[in-house]
Amino acid sequence: MIARYGRSVRAEIRKLTGTRAWWLLSLVLFSYVVLIAVLFAIMFSSIGELIGEQGGFALNSLASAQLVYSASTSFGYAIPLILGGLAVTAEVRHRTLVHTFAAEPRRGIVLLAKLSVLFVAGVLLGVVGLLASAGVGALTISLTGGDPMLGAPEVWGLFGRSLLTMGLWGAIGVGLGALVRSQAAVIIIALAFTQFVEPILRMVAGLWDWSAGIGRFLPGAAGDALTGTGLMSDLGSLDPTMEMATVPPLEPWAGGLVMLGYVVVLAGAAWLTRWRADES
């Protein structure tokens, strides 16, 4: 069983690295996160403190740095989600899944191998995101007179948790792709949900305590909880005058369990409904 799983993992690595999708998405992620990190660094550094002196928001150096460094998990998490979905839907579209199942008839092993490989791919995308947010972001904070706080253990803890968060987003993408099986649908769902639907749901849910308690279990909110910070999670800190619910976010371990739950639910639903169907 272990040997068959190992062969499937190696096959999935070859399929993933044999396409242009991984480096194109890495480039998109890096560029996107650089823009967000630079913007946040300017907003939350010493320039932000000047704004705070005139009645605006003001954060301490650690909180500011953490918001900058969490740019990839706050905004770029759609990228590992899409990559995970494409790892499945590309095979469906090009009908190579037939050959995959012929090489490994135990489809559960194939699904587990895809989940494992795309989790690691998500972690590697997390490294790309940190190079953008912590590299360019820290430089921007320093240039604007702020403290990048790179020596703080809280910052390094955030780095580690953000890698885990991005890895889980890659695995969630596999479950979504296995369930939907349409390449176009996966991309549309991932972009629409992460960039529009969930942010709106989280904003609305944050208006009342009862809905905020439910909103904590949305996947993006769970990802912010696991990472330890995020723009949507810290809106109340950015502007204390906002009418926001007082329900605290989930603990990091609980956020991780919620994200893992999404992986299990999506992959399980795909297994029960689509994954065991005959391929033609």
**Residue 199, pLDDT above cutoff 80:** yes
Domain of 142, in residue numbers: 2-275
State the pLDDT at residue 278: 55
Q: 63 or 30: which carries more pLDDT confidence?
A: 30
> Cα dihedral sign for 169, 12, 17, 157?
positive
Q: What whole-number distance in Å separates Cα of residue 97 and Cα of residue 113?
A: 13
**Residue 53, pLDDT above cutoff 90:** no
Q: What are the tens digits of pLDDT across the range 143-159?
A: 888 889 999 999 999 99
Residue 61's pLDDT band (cuts 50, 70, 90): confident
DSSP assignment of 181-200: --HHHHHHHHHHIIIIIHHH
Q: 245 or 23: which carries more pLDDT confidence?
A: 23
Q: What are the tens digits of pLDDT across the range 82-125?
A: 999 999 999 988 888 888 888 888 988 999 999 999 999 999 99
Any domain includes 243: yes
8 Å CB contact between 226 and 161:
yes
CA dihedral 125, 130, 131, 135 (to 10 degrees): 170
Any domain includes 47: yes
State the pLDDT at residue 99: 84
Q: What are the tens digits of pLDDT across the range 64-88?
A: 899 999 999 999 999 999 999 999 9
Quick one: DSSP state of residue 259? H
Q: What are the tens digits of pLDDT across the range 166-198?
A: 999 999 999 999 999 899 999 999 999 999 999
Q: What whole-number distance in Å separates Cα of residue 59 and Cα of residue 276?
A: 52
Over residues 58-67, mean pLDDT: 81
8 Å CB contact between 62 and 152:
yes
Show the beta-strand stretches assigned E in 169-253. Answer: none
Any domain includes 190: yes
Any domain includes 280: no
Over residues 267-271, mean pLDDT: 93
Any domain includes 187: yes
**What SS3 state is found at 236?**
helix
Q: Please report which helix (H) or strand (E) contains residue 234, including its range.
A: none
**Residue 33, pLDDT above cutoff 60:** yes
8 Å CB contact between 177 and 224:
no
8 Å CB contact between 114 and 121:
no
Q: Kindly list the distances between the CA atom of residue 127 and the CA atoms of 19, 28, 121, 172, in Å, as whole numbers in the listed order.
A: 20, 14, 10, 18
Q: Can you list the alpha helix ranges (DSSP code H) found in the chain?
A: 2-17, 21-44, 46-53, 61-69, 71-75, 78-93, 97-103, 107-130, 137-143, 153-180, 183-192, 198-205, 209-215, 219-227, 235-238, 252-270
State the pLDDT at residue 96: 86
Q: Report the chain's mean pLDDT, rounded to a whole number.
A: 88
10's tokens = 């190696």
8 Å CB contact between 44 and 131:
no
Long-range residue pairs from 197-206, CB within 8 A, at least 24 positions apart, any chain: 199/232, 202/232, 203/232, 205/245, 206/235, 206/244, 206/245
State the pLDDT at residue 274: 75
Any domain includes 157: yes
When divided into structural domains, the chain yields a total of 1
Which amino acid does the sequence have at 50?
A: L
Over residues 21-45, mean pLDDT: 91
Q: What are the tens digits of pLDDT across the range 206-249?
A: 878 888 888 899 999 999 999 998 877 766 555 555 556 677 88
**What SS3 state is found at 249?**
coil
